[in-house]
């Protein structure tokens, strides 16, 4: 099974024969390329076009983060799996306002269902649970009256305004509002970092299919952005990121010592990011029993399956149904 490789220290990454060589502080480490799905860098890494060509040939994505965890961008291989037919249909779906609205609603409805499921699993720990859930359900019902993508996102924003304070209460954190750049407060910081990890993982899964990651439906396609990753990730944020955050904070795996708090920002330390990444990888390999496939599947597999569900919907009259947590 291929792994996702993370580099936190500075150094030089290069091709050596048919493998990778990492050199730092006078030490050398060989990394078998055949065992790698993606590489994420968080330090100052020197590399060259010879390496990038090698990564492209081996279909290994390179994701670049700043030293404090900001996602900077990705180098992705030239797509090996391409389909002119799917690309045309994907664009036609985007250009059809009815189909685009339908998909946008489904991404967000799936996300809302999964956020509710996360809270339901901890209902005994939420004061005034019934009233709070009723408010969220009422907001969710407004989704069916939306007339365009902007109104879908407005309803989603209203839902999250109710949801995040409840999530904060379950993790013992204070939460006033969602602040992204830079994040302020422990919960904002962990949401932002987790979402970035999820975006890059989703991008890697999209590249295993014939989908074009730049043509999206909920989020507006634009220059230099793999916006389809954002669409699909909406469904999985509560399933993966929010549940992982609850585990990391409630089990004190990550504590206040793992953050650098400045006047206008809260950032994970290098050690904090390492802990987060380690448990993110473990979480992604955990399995649940899939009632349709009749077998256990990992969260990595669920992400890939979601891509194929979207392809089926684009190429046929079959409605896309976003993942709804059943466990």
Pick from 171, 193, 167: nearest CA to 181: 193
Q: What's the pTM?
A: 0.93
Tell me the pLDDT tens digit for each residue of 140-157.
Answer: 999 999 999 999 999 999
pLDDT, average across residues 176-189: 84
Dihedral (CA of 239, 92, 159, 112) sign: negative
pLDDT value at residue 184 = 85
The stretch 94-115 carries a mean pLDDT of 98
pLDDT, position 177 = 80
What gap in Å lies between CA 48 and CA 75, rounded to an integer?
A: 12
Band (pLDDT 50/70/90 cuts) for residue 80 is confident
User: For residue 95, how far is the Cα from the chain centroid?
Assistant: 25
216 near 228, Cβ under 8 Å? yes
Determine the average pLDDT of the residues in 76-82: 82
Q: Closest by alpha carbon to 229, among 237, 100, 158, 101?
A: 237
Give 183's pLDDT tier (boundaries 50, 70, 90). Answer: confident
Quick one: CA dihedral 147, 153, 159, 161, positive or negative?
A: negative
Indicate if the pLDDT at residue 223 is higher than 80: no
Confidence class of residue 222 from pLDDT cuts 50, 70 and 90?
confident
**156 is annotated as contributing to ligand binding:** yes
Q: Residue 223, annotated ligand binder?
A: no
The DSSP element (H or E) to which 287 belongs, if any, is strand 287-290
pLDDT at 306: 98
Q: Tell me: pLDDT of 70 over 90.
A: no
Q: Share the mean pLDDT of the chain.
A: 94
Average the pLDDT over 54-68 and give the result: 92
Tens of pLDDT, residue by residue over 234-288, are 999 999 999 999 999 999 999 999 999 887 889 999 999 999 999 999 999 999 9
pLDDT of res. 2: 87
- pLDDT for 192: 95
Q: Check the CA dihedral 98-100-106-111 and report its sign.
A: negative
| Mean pLDDT across 133-139 | 95
Q: Is 306 annotated as a binding residue?
A: no
The pLDDT value recorded for residue 311 is: 98
**Close Cβ partners of 237 (under 8 Å, ≥ 6 residues apart):** 111, 114, 194, 195, 198
**12-49 per-position pLDDT tens digit:** 999 999 899 999 888 999 999 999 999 999 988 999 99
pLDDT at site 275: 98
Answer whether residue 69 shows pLDDT above 90: no
Q: Once rounded to an integer, what is the mean pLDDT over residues 100-117?
A: 98
SS3 170: helix
- Structural domains in the chain plus CATH codes: 3-75 (3.100.10.20), 84-315 (1.20.120.920)
């Amino acid at each position: 099974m291929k792994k996702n490789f993370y580099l936190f220290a500075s150094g030089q990454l290069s091709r050596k024969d048919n493998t990778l060589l990492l050199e730092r502080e006078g030490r050398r480490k060989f990394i078998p390329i055949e065992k790698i799905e993606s590489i994420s860098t968080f330090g100052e890494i020197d590399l060259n076009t010879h390496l990038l060509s090698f990564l492209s040939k081996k279909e290994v994505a390179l994701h670049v983060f700043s030293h404090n965890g900001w996602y900077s961008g990705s180098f992705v291989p030239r797509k090996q799996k391409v389909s002119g037919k799917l690309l045309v249909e994907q664009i036609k779906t985007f250009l059809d306002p009815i189909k685009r609205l339908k998909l946008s609603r489904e991404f967000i409805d799936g996300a809302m269902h999964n956020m509710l499921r996360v809270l339901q699993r901890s209902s005994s720990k939420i004061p005034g649970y019934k009233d709070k859930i009723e408010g969220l359900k009422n907001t969710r019902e407004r989704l069916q009256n939306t007339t365009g993508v902007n109104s879908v996102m407005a309803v989603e924003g209203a839902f999250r305004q109710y949801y995040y304070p409840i999530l904060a209460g379950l993790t013992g954190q204070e939460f006033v509002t969602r602040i992204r750049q830079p994040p302020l407060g422990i919960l904002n910081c962990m949401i932002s970092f987790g979402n970035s990890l999820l975006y890059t993982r989703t991008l890697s899964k999209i590249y295993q299919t014939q989908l074009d990651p730049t043509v999206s439906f909920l989020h507006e396609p634009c220059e230099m952005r793999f916006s389809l990753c954002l669409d699909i990730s909406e469904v999985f944020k509560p399933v993966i990121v929010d549940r992982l955050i609850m585990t990391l904070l409630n089990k004190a795996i990550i504590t206040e010592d793992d953050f650098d708090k400045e006047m206008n920002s809260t950032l994970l330390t290098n050690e904090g990011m390492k802990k987060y990444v380690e448990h993110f990888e473990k979480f992604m390999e955990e399995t649940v029993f899939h009632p349709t496939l009749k077998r256990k599947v990992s969260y990595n597999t669920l992400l890939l399956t979601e891509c194929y569900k979207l392809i089926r919907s684009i190429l046929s009259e079959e409605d896309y149904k976003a993942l709804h947590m059943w466990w």
